[in-house]
Amino acid sequence: MHRHRHRRIRLLGLAVALMSVVAVPGAAWADGDDGSEFRAPSEAESPSRAESPSPSRLPAGAPGAPVTTGAIFNDPAGTTAQRNRIRDHVVSLVDGSAAGSSITLSLYTFTDDNVRKALIAAKDRGVAVRAILDRKSHETVTAGGEYENLAAALGTDRARPSWVMSCPSNRSCVGNRTIGSRAINHNKFFLFSRTGGVENVVVQTSANMTGTQRTDLFNNAVTIADPGLYDNYAAYFSDQLKYGASGSGLATYYRTPSSATDPAYKTYFFPRRETSGADYRKDPATDTVKLLLDKVACSSTQHSEVRMAANLFYRDQIASKLVAMKNAGCLVYLAGDGNPNGGGAGVPSLGKTVTSIVSGKLTQRVECWEDPPTSGAPKIGLHSKYVLVKGTYEGVANKKIVWTGSHNYSWQALRSNDETLLKIDNAAVHDQYKANHDQLMRYCAGT
């Protein structure tokens, strides 16, 4: 059965082509320079901001456009459809789920009425909908939070097919460490057992389901149909349920399963604790992103290319590694969020220490904090968090790899939060992200 299904899945070649076919989904707390965790004004959901309606939709449960493996990106400076691309893609997959299938999701901040209505409609037509939300999605915490609406419609009885659960008020579902503030469930993924006629569909995005994430911030989402990857996410979701429903959580959880059906896909689930006795900020041997970069060959004869999109960036060991890679012969490009208060009042998204390390020392660096096309609208920033490698990786030449997900380059993302980093060893998907990164490097360079 898997062979027949995979013949139906087309791997898209170019991001632009995909963006023209599929219509495309934010963190409301950010990490401070000092290790504290703050609410980031740039990511707070404005209760006065109206939800943009989704485009005309097919009858619920009817197969829509073919589900394809590939990446999509919103454009906050673009048309309404371009801004809403990720959200509308999620809605289309929810609408494509027929009775008897299941939808599983884990989200941080959720205020989007269109997604909520689609999930409730799915439940009403016989789809099992299971949702785990951070406490941030309560209406009493965030204006417009959808937890209460989902609780009323789906119920909270986890013995039933559909339900919504909130992580505890003082921690994330798995992680229980306090680093500046409570751990959060910062995840942003959807699992569809069957949608659009395709089974085992995973959507991993950088975007929370909020209006700000569509209109003010660049985000990405990748859709993959693979049973092994689906199973790994489902097992992680089960652990979020297990530790979130009872007990006191864990100080460390780190799991790194590869897909049993396609080794091109590997997941890294956090939090990851530092070595016993070490300062959590001074242990690069347990910094996953730094360790991944260590596997890239850089020399006068191996000019591997490394590209990073960063919302929050405070881990100086990653910054130092990027500079070392550039000095060793790699080409290193960084697009970072330029919000001066992205980590809280007076705390920029790109930390001061990180800025001092990388300033003038990379191949090219830009900060995204641009004037909007509409006068009076908020500045446009960057919420994506991904790393691209083109070149020699683990001794193998001509590799093209993507790491994307919810994982910021912050201490909380590594040490305390429930987070996901997804590795995609696929040239076509890499090239889609490369096209998006090129756009960021141009747009965020300003005028």
Lowest mean pLDDT among 54-68, 246-260, 269-283, 316-330: 54-68
Distance CA 141, CA 417 (A): 18
Distance CA 302, CA 39 (A): 42
pLDDT at 73: 99
pLDDT at 100: 98
Lowest mean pLDDT among 50-54, 292-296, 300-304, 339-343: 50-54
Indicate if the pLDDT at residue 364 is higher than 90.
yes
pLDDT in tens, 412-428: 999 999 999 999 999 99
Chain-centroid distance of CA 402 in Å reads 13
pLDDT in tens, 148-158: 999 999 999 99
Distance CA 241, CA 326 (A): 42
Asked if residues 42 and 212 have their Cβ atoms less than 8 Å apart, the reply is yes
Phi, psi dihedrals of residue 76, rounded to the nearest 5°? -65, -15
pLDDT category of residue 66 using cuts at 50, 70 and 90: confident
Indicate if the pLDDT at residue 10 is higher than 60.
no
Average pLDDT over residues 311-339: 99
pLDDT at 16: 33
Indicate if the pLDDT at residue 40 is higher than 60.
no
pLDDT in tens, 344-356: 999 999 999 999 9
Average pLDDT over residues 407-415: 99
Average pLDDT over residues 299-323: 97
Asked if residues 148 and 133 have their Cβ atoms less than 8 Å apart, the reply is no
pLDDT at 63: 58
Mean pLDDT of the chain: 90
pLDDT at 153: 99
pLDDT category of residue 160 using cuts at 50, 70 and 90: very high
pLDDT at 103: 99
Asked if residues 326 and 338 have their Cβ atoms less than 8 Å apart, the reply is no
pLDDT at 27: 34
pLDDT at 61: 63
pLDDT category of residue 54 using cuts at 50, 70 and 90: low
Query: Degrees (nearest 5) of the Cα angle 380, 382, 384?
Result: 150
Asked if residues 128 and 94 have their Cβ atoms less than 8 Å apart, the reply is no
Angle between helices 113-124 and 147-154 (to 10 degrees): 10
295: burial class by Cβ within 10 Å (0-12, 13-18, 19+)?
Answer: middle
pLDDT at 57: 58
Asked if residues 408 and 350 have their Cβ atoms less than 8 Å apart, the reply is no
Average pLDDT over residues 195-206: 98
pLDDT at 56: 54
pLDDT in tens, 93-109: 999 999 999 999 999 99
Q: What is the dihedral of CA 132, 26, 281, 34, to 10 degrees?
A: -120
Domains annotated on the chain, with CATH:
70-444 (3.30.870.10)
pLDDT in tens, 213-222: 999 999 999 9
pLDDT at 302: 86
pLDDT at 19: 35
> What percent of the chain stands above pLDDT 70?
85
Average pLDDT over residues 132-139: 98
> What percent of the chain stands above pLDDT 90?
83
